């Protein structure tokens, strides 16, 4: 399906302003890439925790600047975990913008699919900030990622996990994969559920930036850049210790995140 024309995009900036904004976003990404390139890739098992936290803070600063360029406002409902609180954060996955939104709220390390590491500019920034990459189809790689995830938690970091294993259109929460929940059970670290949604000024859901199915990354990125403004809402549930085994934990967390999504759909869109 071809992308809609500019006339069919009521929330669009227009072509020329969108090009100007894309140049600013690219320049900021290049600046971030050069800044992170000086520090190389971290070792979650051996680097001092303050250095690991500093990388997450640098990603937080970059995310906040990019959100300003993109005219994306972030609003939070529910109990936002305190700053520098170690543990696991689980949420639905809608867009690459999820990284910017969640990182802007507090320093965090992300778990991402291995393909992200090969993305131009974004991949090196993600790697240098401490992102844990995983090839989910390889069982041995899950074990390696779990070890890195456990090291990050034990270093006092907050780790953000998208247990759906892929992004969706945001209408429903896909089943959670349990494999990467084992470190939370081993460490007893608190888990915080969250639900993400993106809205237009009139309160309707933003669909064009959702990166799923056969959509191309560049199309979703351009859709985000060319928007006049976007509201990102993050709904947090209460943090709690893990319980049961990883399968039952995945099921209970899925229910909690889904409940946050239902509550979001029934709440005022522009409080």
**Tens of pLDDT, residues 131-157:** 999 987 787 889 999 999 999 999 999
Which of 76-85, 89-98, 119-128 shows the lowest mean pLDDT across its residues? 76-85
| pLDDT on residue 212 | 66
pLDDT at residue number 245: 94
* Beta bridge mates, 236: 194
8 Å CB contact between 53 and 157: yes
- Predicted TM-score (pTM) of the model is 0.90
> In this structure, what are the phi and psi dihedrals at residue 147, rounded to the nearest 5 degrees?
-65, -45
Range of weakest confidence among 22-31, 83-92, 225-234, 241-250: 83-92
Average pLDDT of span 75-98: 90
Task: Indicate if the pLDDT at residue 216 is higher than 50.
Answer: yes
Q: How confident is the model at residue 10 (pLDDT cuts 50, 70, 90)?
A: low
pLDDT, greater one: 271 or 99: 99
Q: What is the pLDDT of residue 203?
A: 87
Q: 46-80: per-residue pLDDT in tens? A: 999 999 999 999 999 999 999 999 999 999 999 98
Please give the radius of gyration of the chain, using alpha carbons only, rounded to the nearest integer. 18
| Residue 143: predicted pLDDT | 92
Secondary structure of the chain as H, E, C letters = CCCCCHHHCCCECCHHHHHHHHHHHHHHHHHHHHHHHCCCCCCCCCCCHHHHHHHHHHHHHHHHHHHHHCCEEEEEECCCCCCCCCEEEEECCCCCHHHHHHHHHCCCEEEEEHHHHHCCCHHHHHHHHCCEEECCCCHHHHHHHHHHHHHHHHCCCEEEECCCCCCCCCCCCCCCCCHHHHHHHHHCCCEEEEEEEEECCCCCECCCCCCCCCCCHHHHHHHHHCECCEEEEEEECCCECCCCCHHHHHHHHHHHHHHHHHHHHCCCCCC
Of 221, 130, 157, 145, the residue nearest 181 (C-alpha)? 145
What pLDDT is recorded for position 5?
44
Q: What confidence tens digit (pLDDT) does each residue in 185-209 have?
A: 999 999 999 999 999 988 888 888 8
């Amino acid at each position: 399906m071809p992308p809609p024309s500019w006339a069919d995009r009521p929330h669009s900036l227009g072509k020329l302003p969108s090009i100007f904004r894309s140049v600013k976003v690219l320049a900021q990404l290049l600046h971030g890439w050069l800044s992170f390139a000086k520090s190389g890739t971290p070792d979650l098992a051996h680097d001092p925790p303050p250095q690991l936290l500093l990388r997450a803070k640098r990603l937080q600063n970059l995310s906040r600047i990019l959100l300003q360029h993109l005219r994306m406002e972030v609003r939070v409902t529910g109990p936002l975990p305190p700053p520098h609180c170690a543990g696991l954060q689980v949420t639905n996955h809608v867009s690459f913008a999820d990284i910017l939104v969640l990182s802007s709220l507090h320093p965090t390390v992300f778990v991402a699919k291995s393909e992200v590491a090969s993305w131009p500019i974004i991949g090196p920034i993600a790697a240098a900030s401490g992102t844990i990459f995983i090839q989910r189809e390889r069982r041995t790689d899950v074990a390696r990622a779990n070890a890195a995830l456990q090291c990050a938690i034990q270093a006092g970091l907050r780790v953000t996990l998208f247990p759906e294993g892929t992004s969706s259109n945001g209408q429903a929460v896909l089943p959670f994969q349990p494999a990467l929940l084992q470190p939370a059970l081993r460490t007893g670290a608190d888990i915080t559920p969250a639900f993400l949604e993106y809205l237009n000024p009139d309160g309707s859901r933003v669909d064009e930036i959702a990166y799923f199915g056969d959509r191309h990354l560049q199309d979703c990125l351009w859709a985000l850049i060319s928007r006049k403004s976007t509201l990102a809402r993050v709904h947090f549930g209460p943090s709690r210790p893990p319980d049961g085994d990883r399968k039952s934990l995945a099921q209970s967390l899925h229910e909690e995140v889904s409940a946050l999504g239902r509550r979001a759909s029934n709440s005022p869109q522009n409080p």
